[in-house]
Amino acid sequence: MNWYKEFEVERVDVPPVNPAPVWNPKNLIAGVPIYGILPHGVLEQQFRTEYFNTRENYGLLTDGVFAKTPHYLDPAYLHFTRGVGRTVIFRLPYLSAVTGAKIYMLREDDVGVRLPRRIDVLVSADGASWQCVSRLRGIACTENAEEHVEEAVFDGAYKAYYVAFRIETVGHVWLDQIEVYGTEFFPAGTKDPVAEEESSGADINLVNKYPDYADFNGVHNVLLSYNCVTPDRIGEHHGGYADEEQYLPYVAYVKDGKIIDTMFDAFLFLPYSNYTYSKLYKCAEGWKYYIDNVFAPGYNLDALDKTAARVGEALGMPDYKVQVYFSVLHTNVGYGEHPESFGDLDGDGVEENMKTFEDRRKAIKWCIDEHVARYKAASPRHCELTAFYWFEEAINYSDKYETELLAFARDYLHSLGYKLFWIPYFQACGFQDWKENGFDIACMQPNYAFNKSIPTERLYENAEISKQLGMCVEMEIGGFDAYHVEKFRNYMDCGAETGYMNSVKMYYQGGVPGEFYRAYKCEDPALHALYDDLYLYCKEKYVSRKDR
């Protein structure tokens, strides 16, 4: 895991003291190179380069040479890319009294260089006992391309021989300089660090455990059941209208035409990208069109309910139910033509303006309330609504309302007794903040299935990062042919080997009817076998091909 130069923090009983200390507050690490860097998580192979992650020039942060312009190509910046976070450790020339620090960073959104959301500053006198003396949160600056200075002022002077900066690294983090202020003289009241952790804290907040089924209402397997396309695409994807026959091999394991067992126990309704990239997604009538599709008679929720009833009857379980989830549509639709004219969503005669916080919050509440009201009116006997899905794959911290709207959705859903969950793409912005942002569970996409250039190692990297952060893993298949089937088997092998098979699992397969349905219907034994193996995987009985 540690791609950086291997090192251990030296534990010293008697750190060196300046034999002639004077009261001279200054930057104590001017010209002092980085002592060492601890990565917090797995660093992907593709980012193990000097450009993405500087490891050769450990003097860049303290050489006093600032970037001439706030631009990502300026050579003054030290680079960190992905890998969850880094703990950057400095060893001072002498045991000193430290009182504060400054961190100079670049924000340049256009190229994905962003400010870390969190920085912790820790101090140690001996390399063994560490205390966090500053927790910087919600770091932000107003300009798109700007040199930002974040200052940490401690609550007094602390004795320190080591100073560590624990920095979150989502995407690209470009650091210019770091300064640590203090003196080699110990003023009255200088504090000894109080041990909080046994190390410099690189593993702080890491769960190192996949979610239990109980964390998500006992659900084992969630199928992403895409619905709704634009009117001009009604003839394709069955128009986003899934029927009973298409749901059957998902609700049940069907072999030789007979219902043998249950299979997926939860289904998420969410819109196709054809709809979300259309003008319909940007207007009130389009939102109503989407929800009409969810509750179309004979399709989608209605078809799923009838299929679950049929499966329960066949298996002697007349009260059998599957759980269902609806989507909280995203309100950041203020782009394109006439962004103010979203339309009248709630029928009060006033058009919503998605540039305002109040109207965006109103839209979220309407979306939730409308789904719930329509669900109650439908009265499905074999489906149970238990959660909603935050329909975005990354947290847009540049949107000044994003986190507040997310908090509203979370609190409102919890007040109604529903959970809120999220499925970010691989290391998407905010992925490690999932719990802080109030999601009850989060499931990270490996994104291995869709790109031939991504090696199989991505699955294991994603598995380790997800486990560290307490997330589950999304299963993905990108097509139905020998190549894509093999890639999906790699997902199953990795899941059986690393343990995410035995946690909550969410599956992308192109929407119902989808690729697993094609495997179920396929007469080629080699390809049809995917459906049988999928059943074993859903039931946590699949054995990796390496272990057979």
Distance CA 109, CA 412 (A): 31
Tell me if 6 is assigned to some domain.
no
Distance CA 470, CA 318 (A): 35
* Cβ atoms of residues 109 and 172 within 8 Å: no
Q: Mean pLDDT, the chain, as a whole number?
A: 92
Residues 6+ apart with CB under 8 A from 16: 93, 94, 95, 161
Tell me if 49 is assigned to some domain.
yes
Q: Which two tokens stand for residue 137?
A: 């949160």
Q: Which residue has the higher pLDDT, 66 or 5?
A: 66
Does the model's pTM come out above 0.75?
yes
Q: Is the pLDDT of residue 134 over 70?
A: yes
Amino acid at 139: I
Q: Where are the beta strands (DSSP E) in 51-84?
A: 78-81
In this prediction, residues 425-433 reach a mean pLDDT of 88
| 461 and 320 fall within a common domain | yes
* Cβ atoms of residues 45 and 455 within 8 Å: yes
Q: Kind of pairing, strands 505-508 and 472-476?
A: parallel
Domain endpoint, select from 183, 198, 223: 183
Tell me if 191 is assigned to some domain.
no
In this prediction, residues 494-502 reach a mean pLDDT of 98
485: domain CATH number is: 3.20.20
Q: Which residue has the higher pLDDT, 473 or 436?
A: 473
| 305 and 441 fall within a common domain | yes
Tell me if 429 is assigned to some domain.
yes
Domain endpoint, select from 183, 198, 232: 183
Q: Is the pLDDT of residue 200 over 60?
A: no
Q: Which residue has the higher pLDDT, 429 or 11?
A: 11
% of the chain beyond a pLDDT of 70:
96
pLDDT for the residue numbered 203 = 44
pLDDT for the residue numbered 199 = 46
Q: Where are the beta strands (DSSP E) in 186-231?
A: 221-227
Residues 6+ apart with CB under 8 A from 379: none
Tell me if 243 is assigned to some domain.
no
Q: What are the backbone dihedrals phi and psi of residue 198, each rounded to the nearest 5 degrees, phi first?
A: -85, -5
| 177 and 296 fall within a common domain | no
Residue 303 host element (H or E): helix 300-314
| 278 and 373 fall within a common domain | yes
Amino acid at 394: A
Tell me if 240 is assigned to some domain.
no
How does residue 181 score in pLDDT terms, banded at 50, 70 and 90? very high
| 367 and 282 fall within a common domain | yes
SS3 176: strand
Domain endpoint, select from 183, 217, 240: 183
Q: Is the pLDDT of residue 102 over 90?
A: yes
Amino acid at 104: Y
Distance CA 105, CA 410 (A): 32
Number of domains in the chain: 2
| 44 and 144 fall within a common domain | yes
pLDDT for the residue numbered 201 = 44
| 169 and 266 fall within a common domain | no
DSSP string across 420-489: EEE-PPTT-TTGGGTTTTT-SEEEE----TT-TTS-THHHHHHHHHHHHHT-EEEEE---SSHHHHHHHH
Q: Which of 174, 133, 127 is nearest to 156 (CA)?
A: 133
In this prediction, residues 447-452 reach a mean pLDDT of 94
| 282 and 157 fall within a common domain | no
Q: Is the pLDDT of residue 49 over 70?
A: yes
Q: Which of 376, 440, 430, 369 is nearest to 410 (CA)?
A: 440
Distance CA 75, CA 68 (A): 9
| 36 and 178 fall within a common domain | yes
| 437 and 332 fall within a common domain | yes
| CA 313 to centroid of chain Cα atoms | 39
Residue 58 domain boundaries: 26-183
In this prediction, residues 172-183 reach a mean pLDDT of 97
Three-state helix/strand/coil letters over 248-290? HHHHEEEECCEEEEECCCEEEEEECHHHHCCHHHHCHHHHHHH
Chain segment 365-424, per-residue pLDDT in tens: 999 999 999 999 999 999 999 999 999 999 988 788 999 999 999 999 999 999 999 999
Distance CA 161, CA 124 (A): 6
Residues 6+ apart with CB under 8 A from 20: none
| 274 and 170 fall within a common domain | no
In this prediction, residues 449-468 reach a mean pLDDT of 93
Q: Which of 75, 111, 96, 115 is nearest to 32 (CA)?
A: 96
Chain segment 309-362, per-residue pLDDT in tens: 999 999 999 999 999 999 999 998 754 454 557 899 999 999 888 889 999 999
Q: Which two tokens stand for residue 335?
A: 């782009």
In this prediction, residues 74-88 reach a mean pLDDT of 93
Supply angle C-alpha 300, 305, 309, rounded to 5.
Answer: 145
Tell me if 321 is assigned to some domain.
yes
61: domain CATH number is: 2.60.120.1190
| 410 and 497 fall within a common domain | yes
Q: Identify the DSSP state of 385.
A: E
Tell me if 267 is assigned to some domain.
yes
How does residue 211 score in pLDDT terms, banded at 50, 70 and 90? very high
pLDDT for the residue numbered 527 = 95
